[in-house]
Structure 1
Amino acid sequence: MILKGKGEKMEKLDMLEVELDAVVRASNDNIFIIDGQGTVLRASPNSSSIYGIEASDLIGKSVFDLESKNIFKPSINVKVLKERKEVRLMQHTTTGRTVMATGIPIFNEAGEIVRVISFSHDLTELEELKAEYEKLRAATERYQSEIQEMREKDSSFENVVLKSRSIQRIWQLVQRVAKSDASVVFLGESGVGKSLFARALHKGSKRAKETFIEVNCGAIPETLFESEMFGFEAGSFTGANKKGKPGLIELADKGTLFLDEIGELPLSVQAKLLKVLQEKEITRVGGIKPKPIDFRLIASTNQDLAEMVKEGTFRQDLFYRLNVIPITIPPLRERKEDIVMLLHYFLQKYKEKYEMDKTFHPKTLEKLTAYDWPGNVRELENTVEQLVITSETKTIYPELLPSYHHQQHGNTDSLHIEELEEKNMTLKDALEEVEIRWLKRAAQKCKTTYEMAEYLGLNQSNVVRKLKKYGINAKSH
């Protein structure tokens, strides 16, 4: 900008002076006017809030001196005087403000700088807003990540109630270990949901899109176990498929092999399974050529494997191979807060399945919640299904509950004897009735006759004989 013209009238100059002063005072920006030597001629009143020094103390001062004292750092006016052009830069003041400064030189007809007008716009609030925005953006990303984790949790763990802290901690542990390929063994009583956790672990792993092969080690006869697990080549034994057959381990290639109730695994098969885990290859029964195999092993048991190792019924080397990450699922009686939610969950499930509108009477819920559920989640689910089917009314009343739900702890024997007396039973008949009830109760809580034998304190062959004697089908109870 160049000044032209001389001899303006004094009153016009006075008016310009008034107008300029008004602009400087009214502007939200901080305005400085200096001469060609760097002396401050005018300064906005808000200089103190931005630069920490009153405008009156700046008038007559050299911008070079002010820069050396860090009042202007860097000084926009000094930069304009040196570079002889319009300049824009960011300043950080001693008062902690952040400003955007713009300096404009004014030249005379000889090309000399006679004035520099600079504007400093306070960006502190804008910078703070930017910082807040970054915080909000980071928080939003974190929440989105947490929501995604919840969605993944819901999709892979939809049938497990996460009310109690113990189950929540187990689920968090399952989520962490799912990403690895380490062997996991789930420990706990029958019916606590070990297979459900195993499936959730698979769904949360990098093998989620591959096969999940579940093997109930207590359900396969020992004579068939090896061929079922390892497969067989054509003509390897009498009656074998002419084309051969892949075993369950082979079918789990690239996926997950879940050995449920691994404590029932025969010792002969334990040795071969260990070899597969160590060498990462499998040989079918009757075959000679090994095949590379890659699977993740998950196991579960309601038995004390460490004790079985001491007794010689479980291989120590396989135990250590399995026991990389042991996870114990607590029984339902130790997480009472889950019971009500599970009752409602299974009620809804079987209402939809059987297209029945049912609801629990408050007293029914009270008795079901107070019960210890020795068969855990499996027993609870079976009970709810039974109640939904057998209830003739919309409301499920407590009278419909099995007799053991009405008995108080510590008074079971006397009540049971009264029941037997009312039926006018002989001692022999009464003993048979007790035996039948124990067998049915064991069949309801246990998955195999081996588990029933352990529960009843009998040997397995004796359990099988008694089931046959009384015509009890273990699978139906």
Structure 2
Amino acid sequence: MSSTLLEIELNAILSASKDNIVITDGKGVVLRVSPNCEAVYGREASFLIGKSVRELEQESIFAPSITKRVLVEKKKLQIMQKTPTGRVVMATGLPVFDDNGTIIRVISFSHDLTEIQHLKEDYEELRTRMEVYQTEIQELREKELVPEDFVIKSQAIQMIWQLVERVAKSDASVVFLGESGVGKNVFARALHKGSEHRNGSFIEVNCGAIPETLFESEMFGYEPGSFTGAGKKGKAGLIELANNGTLFLDEVGELPLAVQAKLLKAIQEKTITRIGGVKPKTIDFRLIASTNQNLEHMVKKGQFREDLFYRLNVIPITIPPLRERKEDIATLAAFFLNQLNDKYETNKFFHAATIEGLLEYSWPGNVRELQNIIERLVITAETRTIYPEGLPSYIQGTSDHGHTNWVSSHHEEKGKSLKEALEAVEVRWLKRAYNQYKTTYEMADYLGMNQSTVVRKLKKYKIDAKSH
């Protein structure tokens, strides 16, 4: 084959190759390059031909030079290069030996991996984002456990919530203790939502609302025609409906003694038999109870079965009354106000003295009473601003703790300038925070201020231990 034909074939191969090809002699001087070298290395073929690869490496065109390494190691090698055009290429160098074992040529192939590198970087970025999203999703899932109808702000409620989250993962019986209206049923629903039974039904039984004569049929169900007045198709009881879910016995202290033994048997054996039935049914449910009574005292008085008490009292959780966590009052009031504004399509807001009045009240009905009062205020207030005059008279009066009511302080502000009136309100709020909290950090969280601002204002108004 003539040299001209070989030249044509070689040029055709160089032009057709998708890889960049560089051919050097045995000393590393470039003899030929493929036409796509300019796109890869940023230099035309005429610039590269005749140059030494060592020189081109110094100029960072070949960085590093695969040919240089092949000439040194005398074997096929493969490296990654970063070109002046910002491309990432995988360079493979092949030595060509003569009959005496001397390298006479080095042929290198550079495969452009820029797109693959970008895809890898995109993948790594996507993977990192996915990890962040997974973390956020997990946080959202955990946040979803927080019910929408109560606010976790005070340290006491935060600690209870953390306990509820831990307990939810077990199957242990839980009894919520606390006054009426503190939100025991809300915590019970949250416990169910965080448990392994979350996909099952949450069956709430108001133990004080079911007549003793109907308790057995309501709780255990009945077969068709089992007694006079029984439905023709029979009926599943509330315990049966809780299968694979949660059975919540609200106000369990109201249960008559006569039915406590039957309920205990169902709880212990996790089986029920409908009235008129003969075949027991196995029921799997998580048991939660609540009461505003002291069950231990009821046991001592013979008003509550001791064995049922110990069955329910595996993990007792006491929810403190609202008067013992006053930092929740303003937050809850604002939360309920937003809900009710949406419900009644209003845009009302509290006057500062109204919040002060709410804080002074002892709230015997707890969160439920607070929610009802806020709804009353939203409905009855004639202006957008909810003034303290709209508060019920028993809230406007002196609180159980002997604080001066808002009415007197409200009248004291008459005749003052706006600045003086605002400062008077600010002083009262600061004094309240000072009395309720031990540190300025806790005071700052309560007041919605920076800790440094609280320190400055305490000093400004000379609020310290000596003034209290």
- Please confirm whether the aligned pair reaches a TM-score higher than 0.5, indicating the same fold: yes
The 5 Å alignment of 1:97-176 reads 103-108=93-98, 110-113=100-103, 137-138=127-128, 140-151=130-141, 153-154=143-144, 157-176=147-166
C-alpha deviation, 1:355, in angstroms:
4.1
Aligned length: 350
Task: Give the aligned partner of residue 213 of structure 2.
Answer: 223
Letter in 2 for 1:300: S
SS of the residue corresponding to residue 192 of structure 1 reads coil
In 1, distance between residues paired with 2:53 and 2:278? 102
Structure 2 length as normaliser, TM-score? 0.62
* 2:281 pairs with 1:291: yes
C-alpha deviation, 1:151, in angstroms:
5.0
* Contact 1:230–1:248 (CA under 8 A) maintained in structure 2: yes
* 2:354 pairs with 1:364: yes
Task: Give the aligned partner of residue 334 of structure 1.
Answer: 324
* Contact 1:35–1:116 (CA under 8 A) maintained in structure 2: no
SS of the residue corresponding to residue 385 of structure 1 reads helix
* Contact 1:3–1:107 (CA under 8 A) maintained in structure 2: no
C-alpha deviation, 1:196, in angstroms:
1.2
C-alpha deviation, 1:194, in angstroms:
1.0
In terms of mean alpha carbon deviation, does 251-260 or 286-295 score higher?
286-295
In 2, distance between residues paired with 1:346 and 1:25? 72
Among residues 384, 388, 405, which one is paired with 1:398 in the alignment?
Answer: 388
C-alpha deviation, 1:301, in angstroms:
1.5
SS of the residue corresponding to residue 218 of structure 1 reads coil
Structure 1 length as normaliser, TM-score? 0.61
The 5 Å alignment of 1:28-427 reads 29-31=63-65, 77=73, 80=75, 86-88=76-78, 103-108=93-98, 110-113=100-103, 137-138=127-128, 140-151=130-141, 153-154=143-144, 157-409=147-399
Among residues 21, 33, 58, which one is paired with 1:25 in the alignment?
Answer: 58
CA gap of 1:316–1:249, structure 2 versus 1, over 3 A, is: same
In 2, distance between residues paired with 1:345 and 1:272? 42
* Contact 1:2–1:108 (CA under 8 A) maintained in structure 2: no
SS of the residue corresponding to residue 166 of structure 1 reads helix
C-alpha deviation, 1:377, in angstroms:
0.4
C-alpha deviation, 1:385, in angstroms:
1.7
Letter in 2 for 1:337: E
CA gap of 1:176–1:101, structure 2 versus 1, over 3 A, is: farther
- Bigger CA radius of gyration: 1
How big is each residue's C-alpha offset from its partner over 1:243-262, in whole Å with a ceiling of 9 and x where there is no partner?
54332112222222111011
CA gap of 1:20–1:394, structure 2 versus 1, over 3 A, is: closer
In 2, distance between residues paired with 1:280 and 1:149? 34
CA gap of 1:352–1:312, structure 2 versus 1, over 3 A, is: same
How big is each residue's C-alpha offset from its partner over 1:26-83, in whole Å with a ceiling of 9 and x where there is no partner?
22624487799x9x6xxxxxxxxxxxxxxxxxxxxxxxxxxxxxxxxxxxx27x2xxx
The 5 Å alignment of 1:455-470 reads none
CA gap of 1:364–1:273, structure 2 versus 1, over 3 A, is: same
SS of the residue corresponding to residue 198 of structure 1 reads helix
SS of the residue corresponding to residue 258 of structure 1 reads strand
C-alpha deviation, 1:378, in angstroms:
0.6
* RMSD (Å) for aligned C-alpha atoms: 4.2
In 2, distance between residues paired with 1:294 and 1:205? 13
Percent identity between matched residues is 63
How big is each residue's C-alpha offset from its partner over 1:117-154, in whole Å with a ceiling of 9 and x where there is no partner?
999xxxxxxx9xx9999699457524433334425634
Letter in 1 for 2:273: T
* Contact 2:176–2:317 (CA under 8 A) maintained in structure 1: yes
How big is each residue's C-alpha offset from its partner over 1:72-110, in whole Å with a ceiling of 9 and x where there is no partner?
xxxxx27x2xxxxx22269xxxxxxxxx99654242354
SS of the residue corresponding to residue 327 of structure 1 reads strand
CA gap of 1:111–1:166, structure 2 versus 1, over 3 A, is: same
How big is each residue's C-alpha offset from its partner over 1:277-329, in whole Å with a ceiling of 9 and x where there is no partner?
22221012343321222222111112233333343333333233323333332
SS of the residue corresponding to residue 213 of structure 1 reads strand
Letter in 2 for 1:26: E
CA gap of 1:246–1:113, structure 2 versus 1, over 3 A, is: same
In 2, distance between residues paired with 1:345 and 1:352? 11
The 5 Å alignment of 1:421-440 reads none
Letter in 2 for 1:202: H
In terms of mean alpha carbon deviation, does 319-328 or 262-271 score higher?
319-328
* Contact 1:192–1:377 (CA under 8 A) maintained in structure 2: yes
CA gap of 1:287–1:101, structure 2 versus 1, over 3 A, is: same
C-alpha deviation, 1:215, in angstroms:
0.8
* Contact 2:175–2:289 (CA under 8 A) maintained in structure 1: yes
* Contact 2:145–2:194 (CA under 8 A) maintained in structure 1: no
Letter in 1 for 2:289: A
In terms of mean alpha carbon deviation, does 27-36 or 148-157 score higher?
27-36
- What residue ranges of structure 2 are gaps of 5+ in the alignment? 1-22, 28-47, 81-89, 110-116, 406-468
How big is each residue's C-alpha offset from its partner over 1:425-470, in whole Å with a ceiling of 9 and x where there is no partner?
xxxxxxxxxxxxxxxxxxxxxxxxxxxxxxxxxxxxxxxxxxxxxx
CA gap of 1:408–1:111, structure 2 versus 1, over 3 A, is: same
C-alpha deviation, 1:206, in angstroms:
4.0
In 2, distance between residues paired with 1:180 and 1:132? 41
CA gap of 1:140–1:271, structure 2 versus 1, over 3 A, is: same
C-alpha deviation, 1:227, in angstroms:
2.4
* Contact 1:164–1:338 (CA under 8 A) maintained in structure 2: yes
* Contact 2:351–2:385 (CA under 8 A) maintained in structure 1: yes
* Contact 1:156–1:204 (CA under 8 A) maintained in structure 2: no
CA gap of 1:35–1:263, structure 2 versus 1, over 3 A, is: closer
CA gap of 1:314–1:131, structure 2 versus 1, over 3 A, is: farther
